[in-house]
With several copies, the nearest count.
Chain A
Amino acid sequence: MEKDTGLLLYRNMLLIRMSEERLAQSRQAGLVYGACHTYVGEEAVATGVCAHLTQADMVFSTHRGHGHALAKGVSPFEVMAELYGRETGCSQGRGGSMHLFKPEVGLMGTSGIVGPCILQAAGAGYTFKLLGKPNVAVAFFGDGASNNGAFHEGINLAAIYKLPVLFVCENNLYATEVPSAYASGNPDIYQRAIGYGIPGVKVDGNDAWAMFLAAGEAVRRARAGEGPTLIEAKTYRTRAHSEGMRDVGYRTQEEVEAWKARDPIKLLRDRLMGEHVADEDDIDRIHNEVGALVLDDHNHAASSPMPKGQDALRHVYFEGA
């Protein structure tokens, strides 16, 4: 493992983790108005994938999108301000947790509806093909989304047009409380790739390095004009589906603990240290840097102004360049 890359992955995962934990606290404190789906436990997926992307590459995400936004380069400040309903948020307070937009860095949107991101990523891939751009588009979505018609139509379309797209299914075993083993005739989502004639890859979604490698190959294929890849990242969310929701009755405490023991941040740290790629100091430095950044961004976000009511009517239609 390369030190720079290893530490970058570590830092970015930690940035997501600390931001999410802060958001969870903020929600309890009443600073978050609507829903709040955290990415805690799944950080390796977005981090491993986005490490290969430039700002001109595009990410399309879903309701559990904070991690994707942060990994794609939206600042914790802009994400937190958005959830706090502030005019400084990445969606100017219009969206909250499920509608994060920052096209300037290629975060093309998260969505409160499950499914569309798969299609939209194919669409960005189509633009890249049409306009001859060297970019890739990524859709992040859950196991639940894989049973939606958008999955079928979107991946098939991308396959037949050989579009530069990564379809990254974050299989965290549940859609809210419905187990994917119940909801999917075949819970090995990656095998569905057979039906579309494209590669389907199963990855340990808690292993940042494995994610990084798998995504690297898929990005390479995409940029080389070889078409899309379906990546199934087997992972787990260790917090409730949404902050404030009851988290019992559908999964066992043992299951949660077993996955916590495989925490992606911990796993990567163990590996960095175990392989002597990094030492305690490196890790501490990152923790300090990220901790300070997140705290700062939170404070700044929490003291940002609310949007003005009359702005609610703007941008329904194009208003000029």
Chain B
Amino acid sequence: MKELTYTVAAREALDEEMARDPRIFVMGEGIGKRGGNFNTTLGLYEKYGPTRLCDTPISERGFVGLAVGAAMSGSIPVIDFMMVDFILDAMGEIINQMAKMQYMSSGRLRMPMVLRGCIGIGGAAATHHSGSYYSIFSNIPGLRVIVPTTPADVKGMFRTALRGNDPVIMLEHKNLLSNKGPVPDGDYTTPFGQARIARAGKHVTAVGVALTVQKCLQAADQLAKQGIEVEVIDPRSTSPLDIATILQSVKKTGRLMIVDDAFEPCGFGAEVSAQVGTHGFDDLDAPIRRLSGAFAPTPYSPPLENEIVPSVERIAAALGELVKE
């Protein structure tokens, strides 16, 4: 075990897998000599050279489509998007090509590739640099969508992605990047579709995603002082979604809140709510609640930006109320 930041843990996974497998290459804007806007590839250019750490023009659609063809022909591309917001220009390639290629080819083509990018609201980045979009990707068959929250998970899940055969969207919340945490030694992988119980509790279940897992933990700390024990669940991947772990928790607590700082309608929280509403119907002692980001683009100025995401205080208050219902 060692303590690493989220970014370094992810980079270690990439570095180690690139050393193992010469088919892996990385593309993105400034991910070569510069080492990535968020240091995602720092030092790798020197090690692996320009073909494997390949700087691109501002052609998001182009290089995603290129990566699709590369995966089809036997490479393992990693696209480093810097901000996930830039991915939208490539949605056609993602939804109609990358996600459908295995299906269209009846499984004769494999699509090992990873698209990664930062998500989340914070730092006055304003509306073109604050998107998330895991809900949208989770609606699409053929994609794996992962949202690791800890350094250990990002390393283990990135490795799983790089060794798999499905296209993976890996979303890294920008406010988690410099978090430190213990990372196991050795060649471990972390599976998709297996939630993590981030904190055990018995009065209410809180499901977060990315940064809101952390916020739920902080809210749980506060509530513990009032004797309320919150069980916090980190799904780690939104597609596949490990609903079993959530259902089990709800069986125990009878109460569920999904906390998500992204948009609510047709979102991740809706899916969890729908599944638990159907399969955990008899376990529920109170209606399921969602606490979500405002249904609005992201404003720049701090007083506005703060308004639109659930704060730890609001989460704690809402969980406290739900327990009383």
Contacts and interface: CB of A to CB of B under 8 A. Distances in A.
- A–B proximity contact (CB within 8 A): yes
B234 to A, nearest CB: 22
Contact of A144 (B23, B58, B301): B58
B57 A130 contact: no
Given A127-B75, A156-B59, A312-B296, A318 B66 contact: no
Interface string B150-182: 000000000000001110000000000000000
Contacts of B125: 34-35
B66 A85 contact: no
B66 A154 contact: yes
Contacts of B105: 91, 101, 103, 109, 315
Contacts of A33: 123-124, 300-302
A94 B68 contact: no
Interface string A248-290: 0110000000000000000000000000000000000000000
B57 A178 contact: yes
Interface stretch (B92-100, B202-210, B277-285): B92-100
Nearest to B106: A92
A316 B296 contact: yes
Contacts of A35: 125, 129
Interface stretch (B4-12, B28-36, B245-253): B28-36
Interface string A47-88: 000000000001010000000000000000000000001110
B106 to A, nearest CB: 5
Contacts of B59: 147-149, 153, 156-157
What class of interface size applies to chain B in its complex with A? Answer: 35 or more
A119 B30 contact: no
Interface stretch (B218-226, B267-275, B304-312, B315-323): B304-312
B281 to A, nearest CB: 26
Contacts, number: 278
Interface in B41-80: 51-52, 54-75, 77
B86 A94 contact: no
Interface in B99-135: 101-111, 123-129
Interface string B286-314: 00000000111101111111111000000
A123 B304 contact: no
Contacts of A161: 54
30 contacts: A34-B124, A35-B125, A58-B73, A93-B301, A94-B300, A94-B301, A96-B300, A103-B72, A115-B89, A116-B97, A119-B65, A120-B97, A122-B62, A123-B75, A123-B77, A130-B22, A130-B51, A131-B23, A175-B58, A177-B30, A178-B55, A250-B34, A308-B303, A313-B294, A315-B103, A315-B105, A316-B296, A317-B102, A317-B166, A318-B110
Query: Which 7 A-B pairs have CB atoms at the shortest separation, nearest pair first?
Result: A123-B69, A119-B65, A153-B62, A112-B128, A120-B69, A85-B301, A33-B124
Interface of A: 33-35, 58, 60, 85-87, 91-96, 98-99, 101, 103-104, 108-109, 111-116, 118-131, 137, 144-145, 147-150, 152-154, 156-157, 160-161, 175-178, 182-184, 249-250, 306-319
